[in-house]
Structure 1
Amino acid sequence: MTDSARDLDLVVFGATGFVGKLLAAYLAEHAPAGVRIALAGRSRARLEDARAALPAAAAGWPLIEADASDPASMAELARGTRVVVTTVGPYARYGMPLVEACAAAGTHYADLTGEVLFVRNAIDRVDDVARGTGARIVHACGYDSIPSDLSAFLLADQARADGAGGLRDVQLVATLRGGFSGGTIDSMRAQIEALKEDPSRRRVVSDPYALSPDRAAEPETRQPRDAGMPERSSDGRWTAAFVMASFNTRIVRRSNALQDWAYGREFSYGEAMGAGSGPRGAVTAAIVTAGLVGAVSAMSFGPTRGLLDRVLPAPGTGPSEEVREKGWFRMDVEATTESGRRYTAVAAGKGDPGYAATAVMLGESALALVLDGDRLPDRAGSLTPATAFGDVLVERLRAAGHTYEVTAV
């Protein structure tokens, strides 16, 4: 559990932010005694306030002043701990100095990013370094993209165990109840700004294999559209565009490639948002899709973006405790293998998916890095949840009350 060469086992960076506070509270309630945890952020006064609001187990946690914009500060932070978990975003704006510091120091790292451009940049800049130092750099350890990534992992594992061949066609349909935070919206703004600054980055964002470790080895290309018009299935159910599909799908495809395409060389993976059945489902699908397209368009245009900024949540804010407690998520996944066998998977949990449920996912990811090193897959470098944690995280999340199930049809 401990490493005498490091003062700490785990540092929560961004502990004064909205999600950082939720994560710190989860760790205070669920981390085993003896795990050496500290809270880090720019303001000691705010850190003291955040710690005072946590359960009693956190009363003695050290506080570390650290600034994401200062590489020296990030290097010192990384050298003092075995694991860093960070909620400080937008990651493209603030995240790279910490990723580089952790890779150089051999310090394991987990984040909540949903930003394709940031992950691609991190892969290019730190993957080789982290492989050399043994650091596990694990992106997307929240609602985006753990349920998606672990569902595909479990489906492929079950098909392999049954001798059913690789996965061929896999479609996830997400349903959920939850709110939005200012941090999520700020990340969307940051990616839109990056595309406006350098239009060539659109090629990366639009590439279905944008995060592949070997783009030339990927098949050309059976991948479904990330977003499109509402669609109706044969049983009358409607689906709409899913806001996280353009990120989750690339994480899942990277997982396949990092495992030498163990899910299948013909693996095709897509995601959509469930909208219900019948006329009401059709209307809901149209509203959801139009709203998503309209929001992105409005953020891309100066005058309308200014209007949105007046009404959307500000960074550091999020849904109320009542909204978080009433939230839930469910991912239903249908898969067909190369041999024609069919499987379904379900990933589900209670709590607002982006906040209450995400605190569980990120907290258990951090604890897996601290406590389960000898059981984790023997990999280092820039990883995904499935390739970094595999069955270990599935077991942890099931024990925490989340559902991960696979059934042969």
Structure 2
Amino acid sequence: MSARAEGAATRGAAARGAAARGAGPVAREHDLVVFGATGFVGRLLAAYLAGHAPAGTRIALAGRSRERLEAVRAGLPGSARDWPVLVADAADEASLAGLAASTTAVVTTVGPYLRYGLPLARACAEAGTHYADLTGEVLFVRRLADEVHQTALASGARVVTACGYDSVPSDLAVLVLHERAERDGAGHLLDTTLLARMKGGFSGGTIDSARAQLEAVGSDHSLAKVLRDPYALSPDRASEPDLGPERDPRSVFVERDTGQWVGPFVMADFNSRIVRRSNALQGHPYGRRFRYRELSSYGTGFAGRRRATLATGVLGLAMAGMADPRTRPLVDRLAPKPGEGPSEQVRESGWFRMQVRTTTTSGRRYQATVAAQGDPGYAATAVMLGEAALALALDGDRLPPAAGVLTPATAIGDRLVERLREQDFTIAVEE
């Protein structure tokens, strides 16, 4: 399928009937399967669902080891201790096909997705089963769009990537900005900037995902061009605007509207491409001149400059260390291992606050805020991923009419906004 046809077919999915409207299969054994429930984020997600899924929701835990799955289940509260466990392996296509056919939706935490994610996503697309993950990997999403999108369109499956801190806050912030501007008759969005502030930790899984992409580029240098392309995930690349010299900055500077010292945001390269994909999949409702970037904010004055310079330098050294095969073993020794992550104290004390400002074609200016308590990559991500999965499993016709390889904004949209507000997330827009 061509890039232009990918976007057009997604927008035409409503005509495909009940499956494309999100009704999903009616005779499945489970509503939702958690694949990778024994991993660090998988355990957090299972615990969240045990406490927040509506009574009667049919949830199963899946992974490679029955013994480890049963141990996770034994630590859950209440009726969750009776959830079924399903043995399936990311490398065993037959077991994944059976898993996908048994449920309305699958949510997976098994990464790096570039290594392990494609077979499950393909099985879900073939079975008409909705799928959610928390990838932050550009190369995986590009491959998924190329290889699975058309199959998911045909079956009515919503294959939804980036349902955690990467990239729900970014994607939903721009969605609600667009909706407010549209209601006000303010025109399309033009230059749009996200300023991120956060407190949290890193897990071995996050580091491993970054490593997987760098290793892929090392074995296929053409992939570096994909990673550099600001519209790498667009289904309609030829129609995208020129970002201009100030997009996706790599150094620190004073942001003129706020006077804050800012620098590159660690997930900007991924989040920005998801937001741009959302715009293109919907036929560019944000506007054909919509330009988007993400920055980390560090405060004003000398202290802000020092924090910005230090954080940006550390980020650059870490990425350079992982990219160079000579220094990668040193980074591997220092970084958390897969399955490891921040302590409960760190997770509970964390927070994030994203402020996204835009100017519209009529000259009006708006700001969206998305914020929550809890470590953004883990405690808050368990909420975002859990609510996205429950929406796919349970909300049916309340979701936007779409199918294919989608983003949180295009697959779940306002329903996810509602669900997260119910969990005390701030998602607000002001002029």
**TM class, shorter-chain normalised?**
over 0.9
Larger mean CA deviation between 29-38 and 2-11 belongs to: 2-11
SS of equivalent residue, structure 1 residue 155? helix
Which of residues 370, 387, 396 in structure 2 aligns to 1:347? 370
Which of residues 205, 216, 232 in structure 1 aligns to 2:238? 216
Which of residues 149, 152, 155 in structure 2 aligns to 1:130? 152
Larger mean CA deviation between 306-315 and 184-193 belongs to: 306-315
The amino acid of 2:369's aligned partner reads V
1:18 to 2:40 alignment: yes
Distance of 1:142 and 1:262 partners within structure 2: 24
Distance of 1:258 and 1:62 partners within structure 2: 36
* Residues 300-319 of structure 1 aligned to structure 2 (within 5 Å): 300-319=323-342
The amino acid of 1:98's aligned partner reads L
Distance of 2:337 and 2:301 partners within structure 1: 37
C-alpha RMSD of matched pairs (Å): 1.2
Distance of 2:255 and 2:270 partners within structure 1: 24
Residues 232 and 273 in structure 2, CA contact (< 8 A), matched pair in contact too: yes
- Seen in structure 2, the aligned counterparts of structure 1 residues 72 and 229 have a Cα distance that, compared at 3 Å, is same
SS of equivalent residue, structure 1 residue 276? coil
Q: Highest relative contact order (Cα 8 Å, sep 6+), 1 or 2?
A: 2
Distance of 1:4 and 1:266 partners within structure 2: 42
- Alignment correspondent of 1:236: 259
Q: 1:129-154 CA deviation, whole Å, 9 max, x = no partner?
A: 10110000000000000000000000
Distance of 2:289 and 2:83 partners within structure 1: 49
SS of equivalent residue, structure 2 residue 72? helix
* Residues 112-191 of structure 1 aligned to structure 2 (within 5 Å): 112-191=134-213
Which of residues 371, 381, 399 in structure 2 aligns to 1:358? 381
Cα displacement (A) at 1:223:
7.7
Distance of 2:356 and 2:204 partners within structure 1: 29
- Alignment correspondent of 1:254: 277
- Seen in structure 2, the aligned counterparts of structure 1 residues 224 and 126 have a Cα distance that, compared at 3 Å, is farther
- Seen in structure 2, the aligned counterparts of structure 1 residues 27 and 224 have a Cα distance that, compared at 3 Å, is farther
Distance of 1:364 and 1:280 partners within structure 2: 38
Distance of 2:248 and 2:55 partners within structure 1: 44
Residues 172 and 270 in structure 1, CA contact (< 8 A), matched pair in contact too: yes
Q: 1:112-132 CA deviation, whole Å, 9 max, x = no partner?
A: 000000000000101111011
SS of equivalent residue, structure 1 residue 16? coil
SS of equivalent residue, structure 1 residue 281? helix
Distance of 1:221 and 1:229 partners within structure 2: 17
Residues 213 and 257 in structure 1, CA contact (< 8 A), matched pair in contact too: yes
Q: 1:290-326 CA deviation, whole Å, 9 max, x = no partner?
A: 1111111111122321112112100001000000000
SS of equivalent residue, structure 1 residue 346? strand
Which of residues 383, 397, 416 in structure 2 aligns to 1:374? 397
- Alignment correspondent of 1:33: 55
Distance of 2:25 and 2:153 partners within structure 1: 20
Larger mean CA deviation between 320-329 and 205-214 belongs to: 205-214
- Alignment correspondent of 2:97: 75
Residues 371 and 425 in structure 2, CA contact (< 8 A), matched pair in contact too: yes
The amino acid of 2:164's aligned partner reads G
Distance of 1:34 and 1:395 partners within structure 2: 21
Distance of 1:174 and 1:102 partners within structure 2: 34
Which of residues 99, 108, 112 in structure 2 aligns to 1:90? 112
SS of equivalent residue, structure 2 residue 410? helix
Distance of 1:225 and 1:306 partners within structure 2: 33
Cα displacement (A) at 1:4:
5.0
Cα displacement (A) at 1:176:
0.3
The amino acid of 2:198's aligned partner reads L
1:338 to 2:361 alignment: yes
TM normalised by structure 1 equals 0.98
- Alignment correspondent of 2:31: 9
SS of equivalent residue, structure 1 residue 174? strand
1:271 to 2:286 alignment: no
Q: 1:137-192 CA deviation, whole Å, 9 max, x = no partner?
A: 00000000000000000001101111110000100000000000000000010010
Aligned length: 408
Cα displacement (A) at 1:220:
3.0
The amino acid of 2:417's aligned partner reads V
The amino acid of 1:21's aligned partner reads R
Residues 24 and 396 in structure 2, CA contact (< 8 A), matched pair in contact too: no
- Alignment correspondent of 1:296: 319
Distance of 1:307 and 1:203 partners within structure 2: 27
SS of equivalent residue, structure 1 residue 211? coil
Distance of 2:240 and 2:40 partners within structure 1: 38
The amino acid of 1:154's aligned partner reads V
Distance of 1:318 and 1:90 partners within structure 2: 15
1:398 to 2:398 alignment: no
Percentage of identical aligned residues: 62
The amino acid of 1:331's aligned partner reads M
Distance of 1:200 and 1:4 partners within structure 2: 43
Residues 227 and 242 in structure 1, CA contact (< 8 A), matched pair in contact too: no
SS of equivalent residue, structure 1 residue 302? coil
Distance of 2:68 and 2:168 partners within structure 1: 30
Q: 1:34-54 CA deviation, whole Å, 9 max, x = no partner?
A: 111000000011001111111
Residues 203 and 339 in structure 2, CA contact (< 8 A), matched pair in contact too: yes
Cα displacement (A) at 1:236:
2.8
Residues 148 and 252 in structure 1, CA contact (< 8 A), matched pair in contact too: yes
Q: 1:209-262 CA deviation, whole Å, 9 max, x = no partner?
A: 111111122223448432411010234310011110000000000000111100
TM normalised by structure 2 equals 0.93
